[in-house]
A and B are shown apart, each in its own frame.
Chain A
Amino acid sequence: MNFRLLAMLVAIVVLLSGHATSADQSQRIDPETGAVSWETHAQGVTLLLSQIPPDPVRAFYLNRGFPSEAAELYATACVFMTVLRNDAAPGELSSRLADWSVHNAGRLQSPQSVEAWMARWQALGLSEAARIAFRWAQFPPEQEYSLGEWNQGMLTTGLPPDSHFDLIARWSVAGKTYEGRLENVVCAR
């Protein structure tokens, strides 16, 4: 077996294994729910994505006054509970969701924006209480995090169930851009 063939085989095995992750990335499965979480630590920042399957998302928004078609729309949009925390960044970091990117099957896109969802809910005539609950349950579109500060909120990619993607989160500290990457993340089914 020549070296080139061996290298190709190794690459294929890594790609098919579902665990092609960077050195700082860890993955855990909640034994109770089966939800998978991916976490990385980069440049003093923790980034965590945790699957939320459609059923609990649907239940959450139905309980907050969403009509079923609106709850369905969001629940099937590949939802993750997302955490970003400044553990030891070199200063206060500034994060904008619009600067993050989702890489899936050779395509590059931003996570779905909170503003776009809010416009949909307005067009569908959702109640103010339902829209307020939605807005503040999302991961903040923009935020500044000093040492020890963090947020937790929902984020959608809009990809179909079972889709695999890489997420690159970007933030800046004193004008310098940093990034954290989670590889081979999978949308819940």
Chain B
Amino acid sequence: MSFVRAKAGITCSLAALLLTCWVVSPCRAVDIPPLTHGLTPIVEPRPAPTLRLTDMDGRVHDLADHKGKLVVVNFWATWCPPCRREMPSLERLRQRLESQGVVILAVDVGEDIDTIFAFTGQLEPSPNFPILLDRDSGAMQGWKVKGLPSTFVVAPDGALAFRAVGGREFDHPQLIDEFLKLSTKAEK
């Protein structure tokens, strides 16, 4: 009896997982829109909005503390298909450019730590940059985000330099070049 119950439980869990996967990535076997690799320059650079949130370990991160560095601010959620797909490339970007002063802050909207951890734990490479918790979506509204994922590149002087709406392959050579150019420009 207990075996039957356990088997039914496993079947239900698998079904729920499959159904959730369908919603999260309904067109995976059809035509998944490709991750792109361009950044949109912000024509009239303005100071980045404030960003002060706690990470999954309870540590406070303030964008203002990173002045002098190039910061990539990525707004995302685990149920957002392109966010899931681009996340490993953010970690590869960190691995490539952290030593050159590039900082990555990923801002999750409205989810709890267990949900985020269950997702990031499956990733290869697993994110090793701070994941900040925007529980009430206040930060997203402050940054005027209209859809997920949205990413902003903050220049070392604290001005918004680029934005990217939709999923990106962040370690694409074209993007690496853009980040390096902006970093180098600031040093001159």
Distance A143 CA – B36 CA, assembled complex (angstroms)? 17
Do A140 and B110 touch (CB < 8 A)?
Answer: no
Residue from B26, B80, B111 having most chain A Cβ neighbours under 10 A: B26
User: Count of chain A residues with Cβ under 8 Å from any Cβ of B?
Assistant: 47
Interface-lining segment among B15-23, B44-52, B91-99, B178-186: B15-23
Do A59 and B82 touch (CB < 8 A)?
Answer: no
Do B31 and A28 touch (CB < 8 A)?
Answer: yes
Do A149 and B164 touch (CB < 8 A)?
Answer: yes
Main secondary structure, interface of B, reads: loop
Do A39 and B77 touch (CB < 8 A)?
Answer: no
Distance A101 CA – B135 CA, assembled complex (angstroms)? 34
What is the chain A residue whose CB lies nearest that of B164?
A149
Do B147 and A48 touch (CB < 8 A)?
Answer: no
Do A136 and B148 touch (CB < 8 A)?
Answer: yes
Answer yes or no: B59 CB below 8 A from chain A CBs: no
Interface-lining segment among A6-14, A30-38, A102-110, A118-126: A30-38
**Nearest chain A CB to B50's CB is how many angstroms away?**
20
The residues of A that contact B28 with a CB separation of less than 8 Å are 30
**Which of under 10, 10 to 19, 20 to 34, or 35 or more describes the interface residues of B?**
35 or more
Do B147 and A30 touch (CB < 8 A)?
Answer: no
Do B22 and A148 touch (CB < 8 A)?
Answer: no
A128, A137, A150, A153: which contacts B136 (Cβ < 8 A)?
A: A128
Do B166 and A48 touch (CB < 8 A)?
Answer: no
Distance A99 CA – B116 CA, assembled complex (angstroms)? 35
Do A140 and B29 touch (CB < 8 A)?
Answer: no
Answer yes or no: A20 CB below 8 A from chain B CBs: no
Do A50 and B19 touch (CB < 8 A)?
Answer: no
The residues of B that contact A50 with a CB separation of less than 8 Å are 26-27, 30
Answer yes or no: A56 CB below 8 A from chain B CBs: yes
Do B29 and A145 touch (CB < 8 A)?
Answer: no
Answer yes or no: B37 CB below 8 A from chain A CBs: yes
Residue from A29, A51, A64, A149 having most chain B Cβ neighbours under 10 A: A149
29 pairs, A vs B, C-beta closer than 8 Å: A28-B31, A29-B30, A30-B26, A30-B27, A33-B26, A37-B27, A37-B30, A37-B31, A48-B27, A48-B33, A55-B19, A56-B20, A60-B24, A132-B109, A133-B111, A135-B137, A136-B110, A136-B147, A137-B77, A137-B80, A140-B146, A141-B146, A144-B165, A149-B165, A150-B82, A150-B166, A151-B147, A151-B165, A151-B166
A positions within 8 Å CB-CB of B: 28-33, 35, 37, 39, 46, 48, 50-52, 55-57, 59-60, 63-64, 81, 83, 85, 92, 128-129, 132-133, 135-137, 139-153
